[in-house]
Structure 1
Amino acid sequence: MRNRSIFREHFYLHKWSYFFGTGLLAISLLLQLVVPGLLKEFTDGLQNDSITAAGLWKLALWFIITGFGTFVFRSSGRIYIFKMSRILERDLRTSLFSHWEQMQTNYFHNQRIGNLMAHAVNDVNIMRQIVMQGYFQTVEAVVLITIAIFMMASTINLSLTLLVLLPLPGLTYIAYRFRAKTQAYSLQVQEAIGVLTSRVQEFCSGIGVFKTYVQEEEQLKKFTEENDSNVEVNKHLIRTNSLFTSLSQGIVGLSYLLSIVLGSILVMRNTISLGDFVAFNTYLSLLITPIENIGKVINLLQQGKAADNRIRDVLTTEPEIQDEEGVRPITSITGDIEIKNLSFKYDKSKRYALQNINLSIPKGTSLAIVGKIGSGKSTLVNLLLRLYNPPKNTIFINHQDIRDIPLKTLRTSIAYVPQENFLFSTTIKENIAFDPNPYEDPQIFHAATQAHVYHDITELPQKFDTVLMEKGLSLSGGQQQRVCIARALMKPSPIIIFDDSLSAVDSKTETGILQTLRSEMKSRTTIMISHRISTIQHADQIIVLNEGKIVERGTHQELINKNGIYKKMLEQQTTQHSLELQPLRYIHRQNILIKRRRRT
């Protein structure tokens, strides 16, 4: 649990780097504060007609030295502190991404993608600004204001200094009054950006559906409403910041007015010299920018506090699925799977997705799962992968509860082809060789051949080096499925799972892939989910799920003999397949008749 703010943690980790950058900046500010003294000496010399050519050269040399020194040290300090801001940005984005990698699947189902993107982009940018502008300007203000006020009071006139600085505490009061509003509006702005980003992401992902249903105007209307809402909350924040800045500048202007009026009176009374007056106003001019920046820093800190809270809410959310305490380091597992009295329901669901499931899948054998939609097929696979946590002592691999197996070991030992194909926006070769183990090209080509997608790929202009569009849209649905199958076959895992992975391929290609898979099944424990009986009929054992329960089990022939749900599914699919073939048979017969007529 994070008790300190993100910036404080970062500052603590890199304190010596911050101290070094602060030191460089402080030296440049001290050199700046030499200038008023030089101007005082020059002005008094002119007024008293006591300045000489040698004195002018000396003053000119000091101006050059202080100017060059200020440039060198200020630039170095600025570069160093700004570098730290980029390190914070890098580390924060890495922490967010690393944390999201540990979160369970359900976490992302309950989050808007736009909000997650807003965390990684907008909130992190605000935290970067805390260092790049906030820290830099705070150091500048503290050093300049402290030393300048000391020099004004000790070397020029204490009373004049106190009177001129009298309005400045009003900045603290104004900052206090605006603090809550700035923070609230900043939070609303970040939330509005998240909503807007989610809308754009959803539109881009579902563009085909929107166009098919002629929803362009409706989507534009929704986007316009959310965009207008984003503008409104930004207007509130801009008005608040503008009013705060204007009041701050007004207070600074009042101090400057007092300096001109009261300082002139003191010069005319010979209480201070003309050089003191010039030096005093030069000190004050050096103070104006950092004093104005205090207001900006306070506003930035309020925005930063809102961003800090949002990011910490993410980073302090504990993943539900992680290695249990005391898990022993297991480097590899075999494929013996046993499920005992497994019952499971999702959060906020009253109905059990799976009830009293008992299964034994020996190493090197195959299990097929069939059943209508919502019967619990994919849920069972998700529990095996620990995308959701099964109850303790219900699923065992190698006679060991999978919750006692390290997650990395478990998932490394399972190759998985999901129901929804997902390909990355990179080359086909890199999509197939996605497993972290290094692979040679012949292995990639062999996997593509096994998945019956090799010839499809070699017909593309760049072949295996073809870069896919987002989500693999460069390929057809069947080609996407086969590339995903090739990716699973590449992974040298003792367990392989196919979740309805042949639904988009034709029957001829399916037959070829199944022949390949049958040879793979001899060395791996295989679990296949499918709606097609033809896909799973050669499995060593088949179970039929209905409303989360195993209602039938056995081999293909045993289930047909039971004359139950499985046989009805087979008959329905056989009839449907026959109806689909009738037009083709009719066309074939017509072609034969045409050929006979031509011969006669």
Structure 2
Amino acid sequence: MEQQKKEPGKLKLLAQYYKPYKGLFFADLFFAFLGAAVTLVIPLLVRYIMSTVGEMPAQEAKTIILKIGIGMLALILVQLGSRYFITYYGHMMGAYIEHDMRNEIFSHYQKLSFAFYDNQKVGHLLSRITSDLFDITELLHHGPEDILISVIKLFGALIILMNVKPQMALLCFAIVIIMLIYALVYNKKMKSAFKENRVRMGEINSQIEDSLSGIRVVKSFGNEKREIEKFRKGNERFVDAKRVTYRYMAGYHAGMDAFTTLITVAALVSGAMFLASGSISATDLVTFLLYINNFTEPVTKLVNFTEQFQNGYSGYDRFLEMMSIAPDIEDAPDAVPLDHVDGDIRFENVSFHYEDHDDKVLSNVNLEVKPGDYVALVGTSGAGKTTLCSLIPRFYDVTEGAIYLDGKDIRKIKLKDLRQQIGIVQQDVYLFAGNIMENIRYGRPDATDEEVIRAAKLANAHDFIMEMPDNYATDIGQRGVKLSGGQKQRLSIARAFLKNPPILIFDEATSALDNESEKVVQESLERLAKNRTTFVIAHRLSTIRNARRILVLTEDGIAEEGTHQELMEKDGVYAKLCKAGL
């Protein structure tokens, strides 16, 4: 009962997407109506020729037939124009709606937090923005016009057939009713099968994306056969889901074909009986048989529409399911803009745990970092170093306590403004497909070429860029695959220089580099950090020995604090890490 109440609400929401294209929508319906009307008129003209013109004098009959022929040609041109309009402009309306929905869901994806993406597969998200939306818009385009055409043809033909021979018309209509009931029963069974197909398709997309993105790892371990086997199993599960769907579809279409033929047979047999008894003329019987196609074709169209409806509606269910996920990190109603930042950061009794775990990653952390301070975070893997830094730009929100920026709770600052003040250089650099200039400019999209080049020089990247085939216009491939680790890292630093934020976070930025690259990158990082509040998550302790302030994180929070020398003299956790060769 609850579900039934929800359905009209969902359909009303779906209908909202027609609003910007009302003119196109009604024009599409008008031409659909016109095309359907033409198909009803032509058999009537055939009946007129057979019943009336045949009894006229030859010369008069020829004149009338010529006029009717010209009229039929005009009707064919109307039908041609109508068909062209609904095929081209109707599909374009569907494309516009698909464009709008794709923008909507992609914008929604951008609002969702790291916590959401931690539990999602890219393939599943991709299928919702591609195949699901295509099916939804096919429904929105074809659905209304198919229903209108079918209703006009079905009831128009029924009215005409009732005038020709009511008994035969009612017999055919009775079979049509049984046919519709049969279709509804089968379509109900198909609904869940279509939904399962979507899930399986999402899994396959995810597996393909995962395997192809990690193709270098696959090949380096010689695991091509393993990936093929994994894909084969997923592909078989998809076929199993399709098997169920196609079993229902087979019963559905076979039944529809049988009912369509049955209607023709019923009309022919009953018509022949009436013809033999003299209660129907040969002209009316031929007319009746001509209209049988107009009678059965819309039923088939309606039946096909129900299949399309299941496809599109299950896709819309998934669309709504995604759109209903509220961003767990967004601006508070009283959030204020941020114009100027000094860079004073304070953690006050901060604790944090991930949504799907109760174990705290951070517990009662208290920390104050003054503007321009250079703070290094060290500790064993899993101690919460990256998590602590991820809380500052609100990639995750604290579970308990608060973080303050220049005395303001960061949850009361507009999110865009907060993140605009923070630059992040990570170990795993993400570069977008495109050229070098575009990737550096990502730090500040309105920057001039001269500003981009200046940032590259500050990041020690200009020299290697000028050695590239097309300099700053060089295409770097998917995720910067054509660059070395050190080169990618320097482009990431150039991006941060261009952004010019007062707060910096270096997340193990040199841990994956060789000694020579590390030296160049380290020099760039130190230049970038000058006079900025800087957090450095250190993988190699040798890179932060000169830090004025080192924080040692453990599962219990900040265990030690001081310079390298002070911490070594304490002979505590830090000293043990150093002696272990980290």
Fold-level match, TM-score > 0.5? yes
SS of residue paired to 1:423: coil
In structure 2, the residue matched to 1:127 is 136
SS of residue paired to 2:10: coil
What code does the residue aligned with 2:160 have?
A: M
SS of residue paired to 2:347: strand
In structure 2, the residue matched to 1:29 is 36
Structure 1 gap ranges (5+) = 577-600
Is structure 2 residue 33 aligned with structure 1 residue 45?
no
* Residues 302/514 of structure 1: CA separation in 2 closer, same or farther (3 Å cut): closer
**Residues 211-250 of structure 1 mapped to structure 2, 5 A cutoff:** 211-250=219-258
**Residues 345-360 of structure 1 mapped to structure 2, 5 A cutoff:** 345-360=353-368
In structure 1, the residue matched to 2:435 is 427
Of 314, 317, 326 in structure 2, the residue corresponding to residue 306 of structure 1 is 314
In structure 1, the residue matched to 2:146 is 137
In structure 2, the residue matched to 1:4 is 10
Distance 1:239 1:454 in 2: 62
1:436, distance to aligned residue in structure 2 (A): 4.2
Of 442, 447, 452 in structure 1, the residue corresponding to residue 450 of structure 2 is 442
Is structure 2 residue 118 aligned with structure 1 residue 109?
yes
1:64, distance to aligned residue in structure 2 (A): 0.8
* Residues 89/39 of structure 1: CA separation in 2 closer, same or farther (3 Å cut): same
**Residues 16-415 of structure 1 mapped to structure 2, 5 A cutoff:** 16-45=23-52, 47-50=54-57, 52-154=61-163, 156-391=164-399, 393-415=401-423
What code does the residue aligned with 1:23 have?
A: F
What code does the residue aligned with 1:161 have?
A: A
In structure 1, the residue matched to 2:549 is 541
SS of residue paired to 2:148: helix
What code does the residue aligned with 2:175 have?
A: P
* Residues 309/332 of structure 1: CA separation in 2 closer, same or farther (3 Å cut): farther
Distance 2:468 2:154 in 1: 68
After TM superposition, the structure 1 stretch with the greater mean CA deviation from structure 2, 538-547 or 481-490, is 538-547
Contact kept in structure 2, 1:171 and 1:251, CA below 8 Å: yes
The count of residues paired between Structure 1 and Structure 2 equals: 573
Contact kept in structure 2, 1:418 and 1:498, CA below 8 Å: yes
* Residues 504/450 of structure 1: CA separation in 2 closer, same or farther (3 Å cut): farther
SS of residue paired to 2:534: strand
What code does the residue aligned with 2:10 have?
A: R
SS of residue paired to 2:505: strand
What code does the residue aligned with 1:227 have?
A: N
Contact kept in structure 2, 1:115 and 1:197, CA below 8 Å: yes
1:523, distance to aligned residue in structure 2 (A): 3.4
Distance 1:334 1:391 in 2: 26
* Residues 521/113 of structure 1: CA separation in 2 closer, same or farther (3 Å cut): closer
SS of residue paired to 2:486: helix
What code does the residue aligned with 1:65 have?
A: A
Is structure 2 residue 535 aligned with structure 1 residue 527?
yes
1:274, distance to aligned residue in structure 2 (A): 3.4
1:509, distance to aligned residue in structure 2 (A): 4.7
1:393, distance to aligned residue in structure 2 (A): 4.9
Q: Deviations over 1:505-525 (max 9, x none)?
A: 344554454444444434322
Contact kept in structure 2, 1:41 and 1:275, CA below 8 Å: no
TM-score computed with the length of structure 1 as normaliser: 0.90
Distance 1:83 1:432 in 2: 37
Distance 1:511 1:212 in 2: 28
1:570, distance to aligned residue in structure 2 (A): 4.1
TM-score computed with the length of structure 2 as normaliser: 0.92
1:373, distance to aligned residue in structure 2 (A): 1.2
In structure 1, the residue matched to 2:3 is none
1:355, distance to aligned residue in structure 2 (A): 1.8
1:397, distance to aligned residue in structure 2 (A): 0.5
In structure 2, the residue matched to 1:464 is 472
Contact kept in structure 1, 2:54 and 2:61, CA below 8 Å: no
Percent of counterpart pairs with the same letter?
27
After TM superposition, the structure 1 stretch with the greater mean CA deviation from structure 2, 405-414 or 235-244, is 235-244
1:572, distance to aligned residue in structure 2 (A): 4.9
Contact kept in structure 1, 2:53 and 2:64, CA below 8 Å: no
1:182, distance to aligned residue in structure 2 (A): 0.5
Contact kept in structure 2, 1:366 and 1:526, CA below 8 Å: yes
What code does the residue aligned with 2:316 have?
A: D
SS of residue paired to 1:320: coil
After TM superposition, the structure 1 stretch with the greater mean CA deviation from structure 2, 107-116 or 449-458, is 449-458
In structure 2, the residue matched to 1:586 is none
1:448, distance to aligned residue in structure 2 (A): 1.9
1:427, distance to aligned residue in structure 2 (A): 0.7
Task: Say what the alpha-carbon RMSD is for the aligned residues.
Answer: 2.3
Q: Deviations over 1:179-229 (max 9, x none)?
A: 232112111211111122222222212223333333232322222222122
* Residues 389/70 of structure 1: CA separation in 2 closer, same or farther (3 Å cut): same
Q: Deviations over 1:423-443 (max 9, x none)?
A: 111111111111343122222
SS of residue paired to 2:175: coil
Q: Deviations over 1:295-325 (max 9, x none)?
A: 1111221222322222211111111111122
Contact kept in structure 1, 2:427 and 2:512, CA below 8 Å: no
Structure 2 gap ranges (5+) = 1-5
1:377, distance to aligned residue in structure 2 (A): 0.6
In structure 2, the residue matched to 1:583 is none
Contact kept in structure 2, 1:103 and 1:321, CA below 8 Å: yes
